[in-house]
Amino acid sequence: MKFEIVENTDQLVLCIRTKTTIQALPRIIGQNYMKIVEYMTQVGENPMEAPYTAYYSFDKENVDVEMGFPVKKAYEGSGEIISSILPGGQYLTFLFKGPYNEMAPVYEEMEQWIKDNGYQKPHAYYEYYYNSPQDVPVSELLTKIAMPLKK
């Protein structure tokens, strides 16, 4: 696999952070993206990049997850939608093509690369979704996986 190290700057986002189960995760992600898109429409904002999901903890019964969209400026937010910042810095990235449920080996190799190269285990994992199963066959899904690098 060909990993890439990129340098990101801090990025303003509109997001919702919640806890859910692995079983409910796809539904929760979809619902929260819709809420954020509705809010962005109300304030006249367009996303600056693909939507993302940040995973802070990931076990079957307690997934701590944040869904959001990069935006140009901070907003007041509404209800559970808040303005936040995705932290800048170095990230190990990989552009995955295929079904979401086949990404586990990529995660394992990225984590091994991080360990082998003297970095700390990431506090969060980010996925950026460039298309969706509603638009393309699952074999054509494009997802960028990004893991922050810290010595």
Q: Is the pLDDT of residue 128 over 90?
A: yes
pLDDT of res. 1? 84
> What's 24's DSSP letter?
T
Q: For residue 103, give its domain range.
A: 4-148
| Beta-carbon count within 10 A of 120 CB | 11
pLDDT of res. 113? 97
CATH number at 106 reads: 3.20.80.10
Rounded to two decimals, the pTM is 0.95
Would you say the C-alpha torsion 116, 117, 120, 126 has a positive or negative sign?
A: negative
Please state the rounded mean pLDDT for residues 110-128.
96
In one-letter notation, the amino acid at residue 102 is E
Give the DSSP H or E segment for 145: strand 142-148
Give the DSSP H or E segment for 88: none
pLDDT of res. 58? 83
* Domains of the chain: total: 1
Instruction: Tell me the backbone φ, ψ of residue 119, rounded to 5 degrees.
Output: -100, 160
Q: Is 101 exposed, middle or buried (0-12, 13-18, 19+ CB in 10 A)?
A: exposed
- Residues 6+ away with beta carbon under 8 Å from 88: 7, 8, 9, 10, 11
